[in-house]
Amino acid sequence: MNPSYKDIIYELMEPYQGRFHSSFTSLIVDIFIIFCILMSCLLIPLGYYFPRWDPFFWQLEIGFIVLFSIEYLIRWAVASNPLTYPFTFFAIIDFLAIMPTLLVLHADFIFLPFFRGLRLLRLLRLLKFIRYRIFFYRLYFGIKNRASALTHHYHLKQLRLLFLVTLIFWIIGSNLLYFTETRLVGIASPYSNYWQAYWHIIIVLVSGIEDKEPLSLLGRIEVSFFLIIGICFAGLVTAELVSILVKKMNRSGKIQLKAPTSRLHHHIVIIAFNPHLYNVIKQISAAIKGRNQILIVSRRGNKINIADPRQYKKVIALYGDPLNRTVLKQAWINKASRVVILSSDIDQNDTSSERDNQSLMKTIAALSFNPTVNMTVELQTTDSLRYASQLAGVNFIVSREYGERLIGQAVMNPGVTEIYTSLMTYTDDSSEFYLIPVPEELIGKTLKQAQLFFLDLDEESFILVGIDRSPKDFPGTNFKLNPVSDENGFASPGVILEKRDNLILIAYEFPTFARMDKDDLWKGRILLRH
């Protein structure tokens, strides 16, 4: 079903989540409100420093308070529970943001000291920034990681150190030549002017050419020393610049390497390399549209080519052995949303069992950093699943086994491969499986009643195909598609839906009627398709 006007306004007023049906206007609203909060708080010190403009500042304050009051009323109107909304945390903060000015408007009944205190209380509206903590968190890490990448790839740390040492020698040289020439020669020396000495020394350090030589022997020795220092610095800077250019040329067409100091969060980690990697990245990039970074950890990480620049804008690589804990720590697996472990083909002489053993060791190593992360592991043989069964909650995929089953399906149902291909491919017009909590109105209903309920919602295309009743500690372990027997608590068509269940839908996008848990979204448990 199409979102109602209330849902649309709710999406606009809430911090931008980036869902497919979220309007970009939501981000603009967030930025506008943040700007108004900053400007309204800036009026307080401006009123003290420029009292003659106070009437104008007060008119602006009235405008801001009208805006914040409208914002408060709109949030109240679209709240899921309007009766309890005024007592929620953010509603109280919004009210405190407008209350001081509303009281000041009735200043005739307020003592002057209390009046001044109320005007200062307008700073409470800074608490409104708490609502936009995700926005600031992402902005902070985005800027920090960008700065780390620039520092690493352009050797800014080394260049900064060279310029700092040059500055120190410049100051020392200028003062040394000034005092030497002043003491030994006097005002006849071109270095007898303090600030002119700075100019002469910087020319010596940078170009090594200066026609204003010192007149004393000691001064000439000192200038010769700084001339040699300048030549050394020029050579070091030139070497760094050439190194940067050579590095850029050598890495042209290859995936950008992760900066050692950059921090990642809510990213997707792909461990190991094989020919499937490029298609995996293609599908993941098509699904998330660059919302999450993709990190490849492999001993071949510095040699992986870019297949499509548009899909690899947020793909980076980490060079190293995935079994090395230092390398995995650099991958920030403890902050990752998903981990994919491919069957490595670094050593072509390894047997399938040896590759599976390597994959299982990498799985254990990754789980030691983040035991609760959603992990998918590729194996070569079904025999390895005997050992894999001890790792609960991990999705193990044996591609050959899936191929064999698909062949059997295709024999009985010609053309079924196209259906599987559509479900397993992310395109602009394909649908995928989604798990959503059971809506409150369907708790206690049968699966058959839920299917009929969804059939009546013509505005949005989705199909209820099954139920997930997996234990909380082991998600994704008890799926039933169109259950027809009473095994494991199912009895179709009379399956009774419980609050702990999840429904399995085939849909183009996460259904609009199922509001996301912000905590799940914040912690990366939910990855948005677009």
Percent residues over pLDDT 70 in the chain: 85
Give me the phi and psi of 283, to 5 degrees please.
-70, -45
Asked whether 282 and 350 are in contact (CB, 8 A), the reply is: no
Percent residues over pLDDT 90 in the chain: 5
More confident residue, 457 or 490: 457
Does the pLDDT value for residue 103 go beyond 70? yes
Residue 271 three-state SS = strand
Give the sheet arrangement for strand 479-481, strand by strand: 432-437, 502-507, 462-468, 479-481
**What is the CATH class of 156-250?**
mainly alpha
12 token code pair: 């606009």
Does the pLDDT value for residue 350 go beyond 90? no
Asked whether 166 and 233 are in contact (CB, 8 A), the reply is: yes
Mean pLDDT of the chain: 80
Q: No. of H helices and E strands in the chain?
A: 17, 11
Average pLDDT over residues 34-54: 85
- Residues 6 or more apart whose Cβ sits within 8 Å of residue 362: 271, 272, 322, 323, 341
Helices 112-120, 24-49: crossing angle, 10 deg rounding: 140
Render the burial of 264-288: b for 16+ CB within 10 Å, e for the rest: bbbbbbbbbbbeebbebbbebbbbb
Beta strand residue intervals within 170-293, DSSP E: 256-257, 268-271
Does the pLDDT value for residue 269 go beyond 90? yes
Does the pLDDT value for residue 34 go beyond 80? yes
- Domain made up of 261-402: CATH architecture: 3-Layer(aba) Sandwich (3.40)
CA-based angle 284:374:471, to the nearest 5?
A: 135
Pairing label, strands 338-341, 268-271:
parallel
Asked whether 126 and 37 are in contact (CB, 8 A), the reply is: yes
Query: Which of the four pLDDT bands, split at 50, 70 and 90, describes residue 475?
Result: low
For CA atoms 11, 12, 14, 16, give the dihedral sign.
positive
Confidence at residue 1, expressed as pLDDT on a 0 to 100 scale = 44
Does the pLDDT value for residue 57 go beyond 50? yes
- DSSP, residue by residue, 366-426: HHHH-TTSEEEEEES-GGGHHHHTTSTTEEEEEHHHHHHHHHHHHHHSTTHHHHHHHHT--
Residue 187 DSSP symbol = T
Confidence at residue 112, expressed as pLDDT on a 0 to 100 scale = 46
Render the burial of 13-52: b for 16+ CB within 10 Å, e for the rest: bbebbebeebeeebbebbeebbebbeebbebeebbeeeee
Average pLDDT over residues 238-258: 84
133 token code pair: 């903590």
Which range of 5-14, 261-270, 285-294 scores highest in mean pLDDT? It is 261-270
Average pLDDT over residues 420-442: 77
Rounded CA gap, 296 and 374, in Å?
16
**Which CATH number is 428-522 given?**
3.30.70.1450
- DSSP, residue by residue, 65-88: HHHHHHHHHHHHHH-S-TTTGGGS
Asked whether 70 and 9 are in contact (CB, 8 A), the reply is: no
Rounded CA gap, 88 and 231, in Å?
67
Beta strand residue intervals within 12-167, DSSP E: none
132 token code pair: 């936009």
SS3 of the chain: helix, strand, coil, percent, to 5: 55, 10, 35
Helices 133-153, 217-250: crossing angle, 10 deg rounding: 110
**Which CATH number is 5-133 given?**
1.20.120
- Residues 161-213 pLDDT 10s: 888 998 999 999 889 988 998 888 888 888 888 888 888 888 888 876 666 78
211 token code pair: 């026609």
Domain boundaries, the chain: 5-133, 156-250, 261-402, 428-522
Rounded CA gap, 384 and 205, in Å?
66
What burial class does residue 429 get, using C-beta atoms within 10 Å of its C-beta: 0-12 exposed, 13-18 middle, 19+ buried?
exposed
Confidence at residue 172, expressed as pLDDT on a 0 to 100 scale = 92
More confident residue, 299 or 9: 299
Asked whether 453 and 511 are in contact (CB, 8 A), the reply is: no
Taking the alpha carbons at both ends of the chain, their separation in whole angstroms is 19
Confidence at residue 341, expressed as pLDDT on a 0 to 100 scale = 92
Rounded CA gap, 363 and 359, in Å?
6
510 token code pair: 């996460």
Question: For residue 523, which of 305, 372, 355 has the smallest C-alpha distance?
Answer: 372
Asked if 156-250 and 428-522 have one fold, the answer is: no
